[in-house]
Structure 1
Amino acid sequence: MRRRAALLAAPFSAVLLAVSGCNAIPEDWKTPAFMQSQDEELDDRLPTVTGDVGSEPEVEFPKIAPPEEQVSGVVKKGEGEGELVRSDDMVLANIVDYQWKAKGETEKSQSTYETDTPVLLELSQMGEELTSDLVDQRVGSRVVFVFPSQQNSQQSQQGQPSPEPGSSVSIVDIEKRYGKGDTVSGEQTTNGGDGLPAVRDEGSEQPDISIPEDTDPPEDLETVELIEGEGPKVEKEQQVVVQYTGVSWNNGEVFDSTWKRGGTPTAFPVGVGQMVEGWDKGITGQKVGSRVMLVVPEDMAYGEDAGSGNAPEGTLVFVVDILGAVDQPPAPDEESGGSGDGNSEKDKEE
């Protein structure tokens, strides 16, 4: 099944790109200051950040030049219910970015609070240097990262603009976590059947999907709501966070499933042609919190030539738990180079 990675806010995403490109944090970035976030006392080079998680933070920068090494720390510990964030979780976060250009000179460059588009962070795809302050925190925690300019040096190698002097600062608010074994709540009001596959709920394990014997598949897309959610409807161009299992009608065998990968949820865009047509049409309009069975005919799946591309052939059956739906962040405004809200400060004190 086709997919694309979640878009992230820059410059946090730029640092992610640089780190993933070299597969390890360079030695000259590994400084004692990086580890100070593990101490009880925060590094005094970090900005002071106040306000409640869930709303735009207020930020006050120390009257010093930007640090020349990475500094990070948990400035607010959350009280969210449930287990702590784990290293293989997907986290929904609001991110506010600043450019710390010089002593007393800062400018906000981007805020997901302003665009109302929190982002999905797949922690397993991020390096420890970025996740160490996020893992083992509760929902509602706030983490501040200061990245020196040289950490963005690989941007030019990736075809991105060269970094500005100074440091970039990212404030990351943990709004929600999606973890291994997560499923929607509620009991199935139907198991399907009546000429369609039957689905047995296996709890926090892969559902059992039985294809009816001696029955031809339907010619049109069939969508069956097994559990009705109470959340908002999934809209076109959103990313959905899901657990899913895909079965071939031809042989009843599972060809793809998040449960085969340990039961860790994943995210897909819907309604933009990145997925098979049956997903785009079948998931759009469903409520978050729903479990849905999709019976996707061949022409809305991988088509007649599926076998030549090692894709599953014929009619496909999916059982999908819709755990969340998130709007896509807007593309960075390369023209303005920032948020354009005039939120900057110039320290007159030398």
Structure 2
Amino acid sequence: MRKTLKLSAAAVALTLLLAGCGGGDLDSIDYENQGEGKAPSVSFETPLKVDEPQTRVLEEGDGDQIEEGDTVEVNASLFNAEDQSSLGDTYSEQPITITVDDTLKDQLPEIYDLLMGNKVGVTFAYAQPADDAAAKQSGGSQQQGGQSPGNAVEIYSVDSKILSEAEGTEVTPPEDLPDVSFGEGDPQITIPEGQDEPTDLVAQDLIEGDGEEVGAEDSVFVHYAGVRWEDGEQFDAQWTGQPASLSLSQVVPGWSEGLAGKKVGSRVLLVVPAEKAYGTAEELGENAEQKPAGSLVFVVDILGRSAPAENADASAQPDDGTMPQDGNHGSPAPAESSSDQ
């Protein structure tokens, strides 16, 4: 499973709490944007040390104002503060998300304040004293998205906002499709009585968004819920909180075929026959206890998208906590991948 950077986190095992004297601070950072989809060029005086957590804007944003409650899509690059060596980046993998909320304000107030005062497109640097990072690691203090990597220089670029829910033009679906109703909690999906299991894939807009069109190889940020056609029982949902992040190249055909071509902001009803889901109980065999068999119905809010990274490993699954990882819950990853998760 590939490693994906998290907010203020790289692989902790790759970082060292190194002592040093002299060197530079965030003002010594020389930053150059290398273009869309590419990690920036960064250099700074070494060793770079700060006495307290600090941020510095490296490039102003020109998009929408970032506001309280927004979830933003971010690419990150991390560097060893002692020698500028790379600790990894998300540009060759998959972006992360940061929610600008009270949790971020409590745990990383400097980043919260910076985001609240800037626009989409902003790129900024962040660093904290090595002693603070070590205390958070040893004390188990969890930041949003993970632990601190210690003596590191962290560069973040805000690429876009992620919607909190579908928005656009409401669409009246045909009467013979499952009914979807909304109240508190997860949406309620009701299977029509007396209908045979579907044999064709249906991807029906309930709300037609007006955002970017989703490509067949894109990653999408979604809220979703799914039920079995057989009995209408819900087997999985991620409808509140952080959106699920998944690649359309790594999900069941009903998702990849049904969501490709839809627009960000759309709410989509997916009626997925067994052959485009996980298969029949007979076909699943031992996996029938872990994956829902037969035809399935999903309602999906498409909250954002990102184009595939040029060097991404299409066979890998993200481990940033934004996608359901437990194969027992029927997340839309292919049935055959459950043993790999």
Quickly name the TM-score band, shorter chain normalised.
0.5 to 0.7
1:184 aligns with 2:200: no
What CA distance in whole angstroms lies between the structure 2 residues aligned with 1:127 and 1:185?
26
- Deviation per CA, 1:282-338: give whole Å up to 9, x if none: 112222222111111112212123563332222100111111111233259xxxxxx
Given candidates 137, 158, 162, the residue that maps to 1:174 is 158
Given candidates 47, 54, 75, the residue that maps to 1:94 is 75
Given candidates 66, 72, 79, the residue that maps to 2:48 is 66
Gaps of 5+ in 2: 134-150, 314-341
Q: Confirm or deny: 8 A CA contact 2:81 2:152 kept in the other structure.
A: yes
What CA distance in whole angstroms lies between the structure 2 residues aligned with 1:71 and 1:129?
16
Residue of structure 2 equivalent to 1:297: 273
Q: 1:96 to 1:308 in 2, by over 3 A?
A: closer
What CA distance in whole angstroms lies between the structure 1 residues aligned with 2:295 and 2:173?
19
Higher Cα radius of gyration: 1
Residue of structure 1 equivalent to 2:10: 16
- Deviation per CA, 1:251-275: give whole Å up to 9, x if none: 112211112xx44311111124xx2
Displacement of 1:118 in angstroms is: 7.1
- Deviation per CA, 1:62-117: give whole Å up to 9, x if none: 4x5333x797522239795363257xx5x311334556665xxx68898878x8x8
- Which residue identity lines up with residue 280 of structure 2 in the other structure? E
What CA distance in whole angstroms lies between the structure 1 residues aligned with 2:288 and 2:204?
30
Q: Confirm or deny: 8 A CA contact 1:191 1:199 kept in the other structure.
A: no
SS at match of 2:302: strand
1:269 aligns with 2:252: no
1:144 aligns with 2:120: no
- Which residue identity lines up with residue 252 of structure 1 in the other structure? G
Q: Confirm or deny: 8 A CA contact 1:72 1:144 kept in the other structure.
A: no
Displacement of 1:231 in angstroms is: 2.4
Q: Confirm or deny: 8 A CA contact 2:31 2:41 kept in the other structure.
A: yes
Residue of structure 2 equivalent to 1:75: 56
SS at match of 2:11: helix
What CA distance in whole angstroms lies between the structure 2 residues aligned with 1:253 and 1:112?
37
Q: TM-score, normalised by structure 2?
A: 0.62
Gaps of 5+ in 1: 32-42, 152-166, 333-350
How many pairs are equivalent?
Answer: 277
In angstroms, what is the RMSD of aligned CA positions? Answer: 4.7
What CA distance in whole angstroms lies between the structure 1 residues aligned with 2:48 and 2:294?
58
Given candidates 255, 259, 262, the residue that maps to 1:279 is 255
1:214 aligns with 2:194: yes
